Chains A and B, each alone.
Chain A
Amino acid sequence: MIKFDEDRSRFPEKNPDGTNIIDLESGRFTHLWQGPVHPGITGNMSLELIVQGDEVMSCKTHVGYLHRGFEKLMERRRFIQCLPICVRICVPEPDFNEYCLCATVEELAGVEVPDAGQWMRTLLLEMARLQGYLMWLGGISGALGMGIIGQWTNYGRDLILDRFEEITGGRVYHMHMMPGGVRSMTPDGFNQRMEENLREISEILKDVHKTMIENTVFRTRTVGTGYIDPLMVNKYGITGPNARAAGILRDVRIEYPYLRYGELDFEPYLGKDSDIFTRTLVRYNDTLTSVDLIRQIMSKMPSKGPFMADMPNMLHFKIPRGETYIRAECSRGEFGYYTVTDGSGYPRRINARGPSYTHGVSLIEKLGINANIADVAALMVSLHIYPPEIER
């Protein structure tokens, strides 16, 4: 049997400031690109790795493959024209963009959304979170060699997309929220069909628990890997499930209840080990919470009533000079829009803050170092990075 030298204290050699000494000329290092196209990430992003043996010595994020300049485009559009643009900032989970933009316009213009409209928005956001988590469960299982689980969860996601199609007419991009409310309430018989889907998704989630979370291979590879120190949470701007896995409650739904979340009964799962396995558990339990929340919303939501406030003609709508920040909890963490208006019909500046901006650049560059090269894909997925929201 081959024995390796277990004393790693002198390997690799370090600079006085603790960084690894990397000399590509020495022939001891390999320069490697992970990405930009690989199944671990929804979108295109690459990690530039320098490895020695199977250990990563340096990790740098490269984005820009998807830059479409949306923030600049929106400065030249009226607020209503921004809606079809803003949803594309985060491709797999676009509803949070709609909500943040609409809530910004409403706050700055002083519009009150009717009760039914608020409930409808809560339902849409929770459905978006559920389908985002189902997609993620497929991602983490795929990154660790269990591709079939991804096919089950993506089937569950498709069921939710069917319900989205039924309400809004679109599967991925919905644009169902408008400044002032929503376009419509749920169609007849929606609750029953949704309940059937939720039952089916719960069955899938039970199978996922048996085959993935209780799987020895999965546990061996993820327990203890990709540890995030709780002290790093504020220093690196970590939010959402990644912070909750470290035992720190960061959930906008609880901390800053928006829409109708204050009237719902739920408690997010808090982990403590802060490794890939705990992050998986947090997201798995959040998926179950999400299923429960959709049931609660459907039982409490009024089926009738006004869902849209009286709004002036949006094409001639002007918003006085001001600025605000609106946040919402998406499946990856805190999602927010910082908007500045200047009194014209156009926004002066809209800056979208996606959680991937901090997780996908500064955090992964730190966590990637000294990771095993086989764990890099799982590490990337476990942080739940969507590159489109880094570059907008």
Chain B
Amino acid sequence: MKTLLTNLKKRHDITASKLQRNNELFVTVPNNQAVSLVTYLRDHEGFSHLVILSAVDWLEEEVFQLTYLLNNPELKQDIGVRTLVDRNEPVMESIHHLWEHSATYQRELFEMFGISFPTSPRMEEPFILEGWDGPPPYRRDFDTLKYAEETYFPRPGRTTNDVAAYMKEKLYPEDDND
């Protein structure tokens, strides 16, 4: 994996790297080089299997981290290509021409994080959240509890009890000592 890293450093601006296991490496590249690095890894280094395309919301740093996790089935190695996307204007180049199933990942990321991948097929079609009109729910600033309370409560006939008080009332009504 070290040879691979030295190789990659000659071609791309690797800003950070971490060897997580002896067959798993994570590298960070600037936004505009990510797709070319992923293409290079697929075509020349044998990383032919796209395992996952995932996003992480670093709300404090105002960025989304995109991770392209690739696998080399011959050498049994994994490489995670990380890149940062501006959180206020989340647009990223699509990789649907490299792997067919990446379009599904991109569709999900658009729906859940609001990261746009122009030219990705059927990206704007609802995937999981059909009929949803709220903000992208997997962003860190989307508070599920607050949303549920505002949208679904109070339902008629539904009450919330303080646990300690309720247990005392039901189990030990005569006991005045705490």
Contacts and interface: CB of A to CB of B under 8 A. Distances in A.
B98 to A, nearest CB: 9
A390 B105 CA distance: 10
B104 A325 contact: no
Interface stretch (B3-11, B124-132, B152-160): B124-132
B57 A349 contact: yes
* A interface secondary structure, majority: mixed
Interface stretch (B29-37, B72-80, B165-173): B72-80
Contact of B50 (A107, A237, A322, A323): A237
B168 to A, nearest CB: 25
Interface string A216-240: 0000000000000000001111010
A358 B129 contact: no
Nearest to A255: B76
Contacts of A234: 48-49, 73, 99
B56 A348 contact: yes
Contacts of B52: 325, 336, 338, 351, 353
A256 B51 contact: no
A391 B56 contact: no
A361 B21 CA distance: 31
B51 A353 contact: yes
A256 B69 contact: no
Contact of A340 (B50, B56, B126): B56
Nearest to A256: B76
A131 B137 CA distance: 35
Contacts of B101: 236-237, 357-358, 361-363
Interface in A131-179: none
B100 interface: yes
B119 interface: no
Contacts of A327: 51
A189 interface: no
A28 to B, nearest CB: 24
Given A235-B99, A338-B67, A73 B127 contact: no
A42 B116 CA distance: 32
B103 interface: yes
A297 B34 CA distance: 44
A362 to B, nearest CB: 4
B177 interface: no
A351 B54 contact: yes
A253 B50 CA distance: 19
A391 B137 CA distance: 13
A98 interface: no
Nearest to B143: A76
B15 interface: no
Given A340-B56, A349-B57, A358-B104, A323 B20 contact: yes
B123 to A, nearest CB: 13
A324 interface: yes
16 contacts: A69-B144, A71-B138, A107-B21, A234-B48, A237-B51, A237-B100, A239-B49, A324-B21, A336-B52, A348-B56, A348-B58, A353-B52, A357-B101, A358-B101, A361-B101, A391-B128
B20 A334 contact: no
Given A235-B100, A349-B54, A250 B76 contact: no
Contacts of A255: 73, 76
A366 interface: yes
Given A323-B20, A362-B100, A334 B73 contact: no
A84 interface: no
Nearest to B96: A362
Interface in B32-64: 48-52, 54-58
Contacts of B49: 234, 237, 239
A236 B69 contact: no
A194 interface: no
B100 A366 contact: yes
Nearest to A323: B26
Interface in A323-365: 323-325, 327, 334, 336, 338, 340, 348-349, 351, 353, 357-358, 361-363
Of B23, B104, B126, B138, most A-chain CB atoms within 10 Å:
B104
A174 to B, nearest CB: 25
B51 to A, nearest CB: 6
A64 interface: yes
Contact of A250 (B54, B73, B126, B129): B73
Given A324-B20, A340-B56, A64 B100 contact: no
**8 residue pairs, one from A and one from B, having the closest CB atoms:** A362-B101, A234-B48, A64-B128, A358-B101, A351-B54, A237-B101, A349-B56, A353-B52
